[in-house]
């Protein structure tokens, strides 16, 4: 039985923010996906989260059904400020936050800015690149080429060139929705991976945080974990050994098991 309730839009932080809601009961939980992941592509994750939480999956600006176009700011600060604005618009005065990849960087920035009502923070394999640091492993053409192809029309089988290990259903969904990713928004986010040092904000994060690391992702190395622990000594770290950067796609059960009791209940 599905936990999906509805999709919706709110006006928050000066833009239209689209979301998908699952569950509707329990503590509020906001999910912020990665650089080219519209909210709907996280539906298979949110279905299970919705069994335990009142779960909202966001379309980040420039993606999915949220505001897009040439007049918006797609930088880290603007996108991070969308998160608490979204929570306020829906009257969520207490919520947990899960961010994956780019979404985890936005979550760190939002938490460092205060984010009223934010209780706990789950950071799923955030890029640790930045000025003077090791480059993010993925390359920009991988994103841009696939978006341009999707904009012309592509099948799930066409998408297999970019995501070889994904299921037929996952490939078809990405092929259907990738065209909603506005290319300049993606380029700005990718540039910010290398131009914004997210580490500088970690000492200001006061909420309990869980760092989930992909064992086969190549994004976060042991030395990065050591540095993050120095910057936020109380952070909890867990590794999903058999997963690449797209952890839920590679090992869904391992992804849920990695939460343990961090959110005060098991989601495994």
Read off the pLDDT of residues 182-215 as tens digits, 9 standing for 90 and up.
999 999 999 999 999 999 999 999 999 999 999 9
Give residue 264's pLDDT.
95
- Look at the chain and report how many structural domains it folds into: 1
pLDDT digit string (tens) for 102-133?
999 999 999 999 999 999 999 999 999 999 99
Residue 119 lies in a domain: yes
List, for the chain, all residue ranges whose pLDDT scores fall below the cut of 70. Answer: none
Give residue 219's pLDDT.
98
Give residue 136's pLDDT.
98
- Give residue for tokens 């974990």: 225
Give residue 68's pLDDT.
98
33: left (phi over 0), alpha (psi -120 to 50) or beta: beta
Using CA atoms, how far apart are residues 183 and 45, in angstroms rounded to an integer? Answer: 25
DSSP for 27-90, written as a single string: SEEEEE--TT--GGGGHHHHHHHTTTSEEEEE--TTSTTS--STTS--SHHHHHHHHHHHHHHT
Residue 204 lies in a domain: yes
Using CA atoms, how far apart are residues 91 and 44, in angstroms rounded to an integer? Answer: 25
Residue 165 lies in a domain: no
Give residue 107's pLDDT.
98
Residue 153 lies in a domain: no
Residue 156 lies in a domain: no
Give residue 89's pLDDT.
98
Residue 187 lies in a domain: no
Residue 141 lies in a domain: no
Determine the structural domain holding residue 71 and report its residue range. Answer: 4-134+196-258
Give residue 218's pLDDT.
94
Catalytic residues, by residue number, are: 101, 221, 245
Question: For position 31, which CATH number holds?
Answer: 3.40.50.1820
pTM as predicted: 0.98
Phi, psi of 15 (to 5 degrees): -135, 170
């Amino acid at each position: 039985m599905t936990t999906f309730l509805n999709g919706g839009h709110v006006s928050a932080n000066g833009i239209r923010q689209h979301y998908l809601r699952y569950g509707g009961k329990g503590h509020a939980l906001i999910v912020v996906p990665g650089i080219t992941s519209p909210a709907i592509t996280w539906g298979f994750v949110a279905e299970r989260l919705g069994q335990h939480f009142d779960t909202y999956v966001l379309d980040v600006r420039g993606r999915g059904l949220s505001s897009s176009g040439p007049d918006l700011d797609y930088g880290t600060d603007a996108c991070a400020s969308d998160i608490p604005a979204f929570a306020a618009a829906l009257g969520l005065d207490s919520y947990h936050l899960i961010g994956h990849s780019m979404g985890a960087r936005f979550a760190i920035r939002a938490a460092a800015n205060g984010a009223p009502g934010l209780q706990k923070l789950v950071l799923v394999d955030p890029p640790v690149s930045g000025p003077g640091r090791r480059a993010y492993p993925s390359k920009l053409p991988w994103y841009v080429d696939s978006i341009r192809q999707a904009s012309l029309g592509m099948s799930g089988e066409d998408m297999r060139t970019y995501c070889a290990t994904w299921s037929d259903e996952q490939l078809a969904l990405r092929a259907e929705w990738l065209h909603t990713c506005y290319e300049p928004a993606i380029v700005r986010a990718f540039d910010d991976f290398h131009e914004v040092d997210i580490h500088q904000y970690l000492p200001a994060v006061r909420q309990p945080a869980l760092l989930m690391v992909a064992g086969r992702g190549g994004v976060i190395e042991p030395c990065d974990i050591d540095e993050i622990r120095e910057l936020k000594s109380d952070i909890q770290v867990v590794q999903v050994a058999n997963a690449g950067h797209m952890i839920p796609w590679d090992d869904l059960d391992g992804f849920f098991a990695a939460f343990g009791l961090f959110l005060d209940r098991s989601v495994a």
